[in-house]
Structures are given as C-alpha cells and as structure tokens.
Amino acid sequence: MFKLGFHLWKSKIFSNILLTVLIALSLFMAHFCVGIVNDRLSLFDTVRNFDKERTFYYMCNTLDNIERAAFDEEEKTGVHTQIPTFEEYMSQITDGNLPDISYMYSGTAFATEDVSEEYGGGVIYIAIDNDISHKLNIGTLSDGQWFTDAPHKDGYVNAVVLEGKYHTGDTFTVALNNGNSETFDTMNILVTGVLPDDSHMLAPDTSGTSLGLNDIFPKTHSSIENGLYSVIYFSYEDEAVKSHKDNLTMSYSCFLTLDSYAKNNQTVQNLKKFGWLLSFDEIYQATYTYIYEQISRIFPLLLGVFMMTVVCLVCVMTLNSTDYMKTYSIYYLCGMNLADMKKILFSYSLIIMLSSGILFTLLFTLATFNKNFSEILIINLYNLYVIFGIVVLLIAVMVFVPYLMLAKYSPKQALTEN
C-alpha cells in the first residue's frame, strides 16, 4: 500500500512539495517562536524565586556581592585587601557616601585621554557577556570629555567622571577603533549609575534606547542566573591586566534584598541615587510587563503562522482530496477495502511529514550556523512539546480532511454517480 501512497504523492508532486515546504516552514517558525517565548518566560523563574516576605528589593548597578568578583585568594590578600564586606559596601551607599569601588575596577577603568597618551596605545578592552570580545582603541567622546583627574592606582584609572553632566539612564557616544583599523566605530555608552563624587558607572548600551527599568531587567535576571554576566571592563593592554582578564569581570546590575536598609527616608533617597528601589510587587509587575510586552509581540506571529499553516493545509488537502477522489474510486473498483485505504492515506501523509521533517532539519541546521539564531534555536523540552503537538495536529488534519470528505462523498459514490 505504501507504493500506492507514493504513487498518489507523485501524481501531484508540485502541490505536495508545496505542502512539504509549508509544513517545514511552519515547524521552523513555531520552533523559533517557542524559543523566543521560552527565553522570555525564563525570566520569570528568577522572580518566582524571590522571597515575597521581603519588603524591598534594590536593583542596583554595581556588584551584587564580593565573592562574585571571583578574585583569587592570592589576589585578595595582595592588591585587594581593602575589599569591603557586602554590609560595609551597602552601608556606604545608604549613608550617601561614595562606596569604595576601587576593587571593582582594580586595574581597569575608562582611561582619561591624558592617561591614554601617557601610557601609549590607549587600548581598552570591553568585555561583554563574560567574554573579552572587543579590543578597542580609545577614540573621542562625542560629548563631554574624559575626566582628567580621575583617581588612579598603580597607573590605572578607577572611574570616569563626566563633569556631572549625566544622570543614571543617560547615554552618550564614544568613537572606538577596532584594532589596527583606521576607521572608528561608534558605541553607545549607558550611564548606569552616578556616584556621589560625580564619577559615572558605565556600560555599553546595547538597546540603543535610553535606559529604563525594562531595559535593565533581562540583563539583571541573566546576571543572577549566570553569576557574573553583563560585564564591562576597560583596561590598558598590560600583561598584568591580561593575566587577570577572567578575574576582573564584574557585574554591574543585580538585585539585592534590602529590607533592613529601606527603613528611613534618607536611606531610601540615597539608594535611589544609585539604582531603583522596588517592592516585590513592583518587581513582579515590571517583570510581568516586560515579558508580556515581549510575548505579546511574538504571540500573534506564532498564532498567525499556525493558523495560516492549518488553513493552507486544509485547503491543499481538500483540493488534493477532490483530485484524489477519482483515484480512490478507481482503487475501490479494483478491490480496495477501507483498511487498505487507511494505509494508503497514512503512507501519503507519512511521506509528506517525513519530507517536511527532513526539510525542517535542513533549515534548522542552516539556521544554527547563524549566530543570532543559534541561541534561540536550542532544542529544549518546550520546543519538543510544541513541535510534537504541531506534528500530531498536522497529521490529524492531513488524515481527517480526506476522511471527512470520504464521509460525505465515498469512492463508491464517485464511481456510481455521473
């Protein structure tokens, strides 16, 4: 019977190939959409783990705890003996003082123009996502200027001060030169925090828009999930610094539970200076808004693709079935029974699903070569569920459309009615 199913498939090969492409594309799109939705939904896992009993959470733009700086023991006892405890660090912030952040920037910072000349070459590293991925020459600020008196330690600058011009959430542009190239790229820099002495904490602005709570959200979530994550660090090209590359990464945004700190107004004021002070509900709401916004953008696409596939499938199957009806009636005349017919139908669907599956795998493999796709395309349980569901549904449609048609109009009728 498989042979007859194959004959059936072959006799309308173009419409069947169209069907195959359609199914493969919809599987791909579904997989893609589920990947995105799933990616966003995972943010909720973080929030779900928050302690609802706590009154306030503080989302700040600095290191969440000292251990995470991951300095070697050796390093801690050497250069970095001044590392404050988390409590000390927080009390510095809540007092409204400049916290000692030198340990964060140890050996790394934005260089001032002067210093860059002094040390020749002026190479900085910008590390993003735990990877030192960019080696860049310092260019010029399009706006403002490098702080000339930035405090430095062992020849390295601790922070950059932008004349008090910027507030948390502001962006500005830096021209950066990539290696030996003569051309300068521009890079948007976010001011992720302004410290009381007017030094600014900076991060590359990936969103391209001004910083809002929702922009920092996914990063913050990720940083909690992955440990140290969204990292920026700048340094001169220096053997000593290079050898510490991995240790020097740091997080600039995190959640802190702060019920003990959020008691008096002055503390709250000070906290707000460096970040966002939020209640659990606010965090939950912000997460919800963020995810909802993201998913509501994807969901219609997913639904649209799915509906389109089903509608197209029903149309093509109906058209095919009408054409195939004559063949079925002839088969009936030649001695086909109902069980045979089911087998033929099933073989036909199987050929289509198999070829769609192969095409889908091909598309999938091709797409994973593209870096932008590859992260979203990771197969996990959700994707498998959804793809499995879709395949089952499509098979159901493919088998039931002909069945419905046969119920209304049998091969026998096709044979005996003129």
Partner 1 sequence: MIKLSAVNKTYNSKKPNAFQALHNVSLTIEDGELTAIIGRSGAGKSTLLHIMGCIDTFEEGTYLIDNENVSGLSDKKLSAIRNKKIGIVMQDFALIETYSVLQNVMTPLYFSKIKSKQAKEMAMKAIRAVGMEEYLHTPIKNLSGGQKQRIAIARAIVNNPSVILADEPTGALDSKTSTEIIALFQTLNQLGKTIVIITHDLSVAEKCNRQIEISDGRIIHDSNSPII
Ligand X SMILES: Nc1ncnc2c1ncn2[C@@H]1O[C@H](COP(=O)(O)OP(=O)(O)OP(=O)(O)O)[C@@H](O)[C@H]1O
Nearer to partner 1, 57 or 331 (CB): 331
Please check whether residue 204 is in contact with residue 232, taking contact to mean a CB–CB distance below 8 angstroms.
Answer: yes
Nearer to ligand X, 322 or 416 (CB): 416
Please check whether residue 396 is in contact with residue 313, taking contact to mean a CB–CB distance below 8 angstroms.
Answer: no
* Binding partner at 335 among ligand X, partner 1, none, C-beta below 5 to 8 Å by kind: partner 1
* Binding partner at 412 among partner 1, ligand X, none, C-beta below 5 to 8 Å by kind: partner 1
Q: Could you say whether residue 149 binds ligand X (CB under 6 A)?
A: no
Q: How far apart are CA 165 and CA 155, in angstroms?
A: 26
* Binding partner at 295 among partner 1, ligand X, none, C-beta below 5 to 8 Å by kind: none
Q: In the bound complex, what is the minimum distance in angstroms from residue 11's beta carbon to partner 1?
A: 5
- The residues, any chain, with a CB within 8 Å of residue 179's CB and separated by 6 or more, are 135, 136, 137
Q: In the bound complex, what is the minimum distance in angstroms from residue 337's beta carbon to partner 1?
A: 4
* Binding partner at 7 among partner 1, ligand X, none, C-beta below 5 to 8 Å by kind: partner 1
Classify the phi-psi angles of 289: left when phi > 0, otherwise alpha if psi is within -120 to 50, otherwise beta: alpha
Q: How far apart are CA 353 and CA 306, in angstroms?
A: 16
Binding site for partner 1 (CB under 8 A): 1, 3-4, 7, 11, 326-327, 329-340, 412, 415-416, 418
* Binding partner at 334 among ligand X, partner 1, none, C-beta below 5 to 8 Å by kind: partner 1
Classify the phi-psi angles of 182: left when phi > 0, otherwise alpha if psi is within -120 to 50, otherwise beta: alpha
Nearer to partner 1, 347 or 355 (CB): 347
* Binding partner at 1 among ligand X, partner 1, none, C-beta below 5 to 8 Å by kind: partner 1
Nearest CA among 193, 213, 219 for reference residue 284? 213
Q: How far apart are CA 84 and CA 238, in angstroms?
A: 26
Nearer to ligand X, 368 or 410 (CB): 410
* Binding partner at 171 among ligand X, partner 1, none, C-beta below 5 to 8 Å by kind: none
Nearer to ligand X, 149 or 417 (CB): 417
Nearer to partner 1, 39 or 340 (CB): 340
Q: How far apart are CA 256 and CA 251, in angstroms?
A: 13
Nearest CA among 127, 258, 138 for reference residue 203? 127
Q: How far apart are CA 236 and CA 343, in angstroms?
A: 71
Contact pattern for ligand X over residues 387 through 416, marking x by CB under 6 A: -----------------------------x
- The residues, any chain, with a CB within 8 Å of residue 291's CB and separated by 6 or more, are 40, 41, 43, 44
Helix/strand/coil for 141: strand
Q: Could you say whether residue 417 binds ligand X (CB under 6 A)?
A: yes
Q: How far apart are CA 418 and CA 220, in angstroms?
A: 71
* Binding partner at 333 among partner 1, ligand X, none, C-beta below 5 to 8 Å by kind: partner 1
Nearer to ligand X, 154 or 417 (CB): 417
Q: In the bound complex, what is the minimum distance in angstroms from residue 408's beta carbon to partner 1?
A: 15
Q: In the bound complex, what is the minimum distance in angstroms from residue 407's beta carbon to partner 1?
A: 14
Q: In the bound complex, what is the minimum distance in angstroms from residue 401's beta carbon to ligand X?
A: 24
Tokens 């059936």, residue?
A: 8
Chain contacts with ligand X (rule: CB under 6 A): 416-417
